[in-house]
Amino acid sequence: MLLLCCTHERGNVWTPVLTRMLGGVICLLLSAQALVAAPVVWDHIEDPLVRAAQFDLLVGKPFEAITRLEADLDQGRIKHRPAQAQLVLGSLYLANGAHHKAASIFEALGNGKRNSDQPQRVQNLAWLSLAQAQYQHGQTDEALASLQRINGELPGQAQQERLLLSAMLLMQRQDFDQAVVNLRQLGKKSLVRQLREKSVWETYGRFNLGVALFRQGKEEEGRTLLEKLGSGTADTEEQRALRDKANLMLAYHHLNKNEPEKAQQYFVKTRLQGPMSSRALLGLGRVYSSRELHQKSLVPWLKLSKMDASDPAVQDGLLAVPFAFGKLEAFKQALEYYQSALERFKAEVAQVRQAEAAVNSDALADTLARAVSNQPAGQGWLVQDLPNTPGGRYLWQLFTTHEFQETLKNYVQLRRSLERLAQWSSQIDSANGLEPAHRRELEKRVLGVQSELLSVLERTQTHLKVLAQKTLKRHEQRLLGYASEARFSMAQMYDYASKRWGSEQ
């Protein structure tokens, strides 16, 4: 992040930067976890038509199941325990992205006696799934309220998901004290149970507890926790990435406190491949640089400068290399590396502008929508499954946000609905024996929904575009700033050189 700031600046600048880093890490952890709520499945469904709807839900066809079940309810065909149909309907709406509708169904059932035939465990899982969906849709208060409806403990991993989600929501509300209480419960299980489950949720929980403790000002306790995480064994790539994050956080914490030796211990524990490697290399260079070991600082920084220049840490590295050469009074090399950095920044700006053009022409939204449509129904989508979109390197972080993902899902569903409406319109036209009044009513309804849908579709497309444009603009401004700094620095060096030769002559 920040390099070589003077002491006076540190007090004003480091604190928000550290806060931003912590906040960023928290957001990243939940978005990266791909919190895809499992379908809510109910026990002992009696009516066969309702069971058929539950089957469609489980094979990822919630829309088809909703239309059939609503039609069956409308026609009075659900004859056996119709309240169970409402439960399944709630699950179907939830799976179809309609979390408000699902919440109203579950709440109505929860307040009455209609779902009393369902075991508490099943009801609890329904509230958890609803809370996960609400969280993904940015409904923090509603998600917390849903979690509060859970009565008793959930089985196995679900309980860990519950505690972690509730801690995340509390952190979003800046309620770190309560978040810490929840996160501490994650570690309360017996070691045997933890080993059996090998849950990454528990690891996430420990990391987030460390972060929350830092935020609470309990630095020592937070550090101890992160140290354990950073030196523990990791069986999966996800756990290894978390271990790197823990080490990186501790390293930057010490670096920012002007304790480079301590910082170094953690930087060297971070792997030199994987998503954290660029920040580790940047930080390690800073450690050496702050100890005036400029020659040594060049080792990680030169390695860093060969990496993908869309990464902000690499961009910092591109300026850090000539800085180190300047410190070593190797001005010729410094000049060459400034020139090379300038070329890289210019090339990256061209890439960002190409991406901006793709976003402005709606090509990005169309490409992403096609990719999402081709993925198996009912499953969450992951960034790595997406096609190589123009400027994707600059947008992947945006793609991992819940806001972008949910908006894109809505966009895909709205487009699909538009096709359905066109198909229904032809069906109404060709329907035999339809009462003229009924035909007119259906046609009017289709037209009404079509018009509303088009308006929401346009707004959704614009929202996706604006999100991408803002992200790209931020990258562009940063790159342009860096390019002008490289140019300015070169000018300063020429100026210095001419003065030096002048004085020697």
Partner 1 sequence: MKKINVVRRGLAFFCVSLVGLGLLASGMAYTASAAEDSVAETTRFVQLDAAAERVLNEVAALGAQMAILEEAQKSLSQTRLLVLVTVDPGPFFQLGTIQLHIDERMVSFHQYTETELAALQKGGSHRLFWDDVSVGQHKLTVSMMGRTPKESDFRRTSTLVITSDEERGVVELRIAPGENEDQSSPEMRLKEWK
- 238 or 312: CB nearest partner 1: 312
What is the SS3 assignment for 203? helix
Candidates 1, 109, 167, 280; binder of partner 1 (CB under 8 A) is 1
Q: Is 149 in the site for partner 1 (CB under 8 A)?
A: no
Provide CB contacts within 8 A for 497, sequence distance 6+.
Answer: 331
Candidates 34, 67, 187, 444; binder of partner 1 (CB under 8 A) is 67
- 195 or 434: CB nearest partner 1: 434
Q: List the interface residues with partner 1, window 197-226 (CB under 8 A).
A: none
**Choices 203-211, 263-271, 365-373, 412-420 (CB under 8 A): range interacting with partner 1:** 412-420
Phi-psi label, residue 7: left if phi above 0, alpha if psi -120 to 50, beta otherwise: alpha
Q: Which residues of 21-33 are buried (b: 16+ CB within 10 A; e: fewer)?
A: bbeebbbebbbbb
Distance CA 396, CA 418 (A): 28
Q: List the interface residues with partner 1, window 320-359 (CB under 8 A).
A: 320, 323, 326-327, 329
Q: Is 66 in the site for partner 1 (CB under 8 A)?
A: yes
Q: Which of the 8 DSSP states describes residue 43?
A: S
Answer yes or no: are the C-beta atoms of 115 and 109 closer than 8 Å: yes
Q: List the interface residues with partner 1, window 74-93 (CB under 8 A).
A: 74-75, 77, 93
- Please, what is the minimum distance in Å from the beta carbon of residue 19 to partner 1? 6
Entry field: residues in the chain: 505
- 57 or 180: CB nearest partner 1: 57
Q: Which residue has the tokens 């066969």?
A: 48
- 219 or 292: CB nearest partner 1: 292
User: If DSSP states are collapsed to H, E and C, what string results for 295-320?
Assistant: HHHHHHHHHHHCCCCCCHHHHHHHHH
Q: Rounded to the nearest 10 degrees, how much is the dihedral formed by the CA atoms of 392, 398, 404, 408? A: 10
- 55 or 347: CB nearest partner 1: 55
Q: Is 491 in the site for partner 1 (CB under 8 A)?
A: no
- 221 or 396: CB nearest partner 1: 396
What is the SS3 assignment for 33? coil
Tell me how crowded residue 2 is: count the other CB atoms within 10 A of its CB: 15
Q: List the interface residues with partner 1, window 11-40 (CB under 8 A).
A: 13, 16-17, 19-20, 23
- Please, what is the minimum distance in Å from the beta carbon of residue 196 to partner 1? 22
As a whole number of Å, the end-to-end CA separation of the chain is: 42
- Please, what is the minimum distance in Å from the beta carbon of residue 316 to partner 1? 6
Distance CA 83, CA 339 (A): 72
- How many chain residues bind partner 1 (CB under 8 A)? 96
Site string for partner 1, 367-406 (x = CB under 8 A): ------------------------------------x--x
Q: Is 488 in the site for partner 1 (CB under 8 A)?
A: yes
Residue 487, exposed/middle/buried by CB under 10 A (0-12, 13-18, 19+)? middle
User: If DSSP states are collapsed to H, E and C, what string results for 102-147?
Assistant: HHHHHHHHHHCCCCCCCCHHHHHHHHHHHHHHHHHCCCHHHHHHHH
Q: List the interface residues with partner 1, window 284-303 (CB under 8 A).
A: none
Q: Is 118 in the site for partner 1 (CB under 8 A)?
A: no
Candidates 414, 415, 468, 472; binder of partner 1 (CB under 8 A) is 414
Q: Is 319 in the site for partner 1 (CB under 8 A)?
A: yes
Answer yes or no: are the C-beta atoms of 186 and 209 closer than 8 Å: yes
Q: List the interface residues with partner 1, window 430-469 (CB under 8 A).
A: 431-434, 442, 445-446, 449, 452-453, 456, 459-460, 463
- Please, what is the minimum distance in Å from the beta carbon of residue 147 to partner 1? 19
Candidates 30, 94, 95, 98; binder of partner 1 (CB under 8 A) is 98
Which amino acid makes up residue 273? Q
Q: Is 105 in the site for partner 1 (CB under 8 A)?
A: no
Candidates 35, 36, 68, 371; binder of partner 1 (CB under 8 A) is 68
Residue 372, exposed/middle/buried by CB under 10 A (0-12, 13-18, 19+)? middle
Site string for partner 1, 463-482 (x = CB under 8 A): x----------x--xx--xx
Q: List the interface residues with partner 1, window 226-285 (CB under 8 A).
A: none
- 76 or 217: CB nearest partner 1: 76
Q: List the interface residues with partner 1, window 122-141 (CB under 8 A).
A: 137-139
Distance CA 235, CA 253 (A): 26
